[in-house]
Amino acid sequence: MAEDSPKRRKANFNEAETEVLIEQVLKHEQLLFAAGPGRASPGQKRKVWELIRHKVNPVAACPRDVEDLKKRWRDLKRRDRSKLCRLSQGCGPPGPAAALGLLLAPEEMPPAASPAR
């Protein structure tokens, strides 16, 4: 039979949680996402995500685990990239592409959205 109480989903991330998550991931970006021979081991990455979790949870609406944080980060990147792609194709609202590309590295930006050098 089913459990007595239905499983409830967690509350949405609030603005403070999202800001802390972005700040901490960008601070540790090299350790978390670097490729090549100098990349961090899975154990090191796990420790960094735990550190980020400890920074996010004091401002969180409900306790977050590492998987919640990783999923939120992936969703933020995906949403940001899709907005930037729509903008570069002329399908989005007019505005500076750099404002939408806050989470993108310069080499990930499409040529039309890259700042002039």
pLDDT tens for residues 38-75? 889 999 999 999 999 999 999 998 999 999 999 999 99
Domain limits at 81? 15-88
24, 55 in Cβ contact below 8 A? Answer: yes
Domain count, the chain: 1
**Size (the chain), residues:** 117
Using DSSP's 3-state secondary structure scheme, residue 64 falls into coil
The pLDDT-based confidence of 113 (bands split at 50, 70, 90) is very low
CB-CB contact of 56 with 17 (8 Å)? yes
113 occurs within a structural domain = no
Whether residue 50 is contained in a domain is answered as: yes
Q: What pLDDT is stored for residue 100 in this prediction?
A: 42
Percentage of the chain beyond pLDDT 90 is 50
Q: Is 10 among the domain residues?
A: no
Residue 24 · residue 32 · CB < 8 Å = no
Q: pTM (2 decimals)?
A: 0.67
State the pLDDT at residue 45.
95
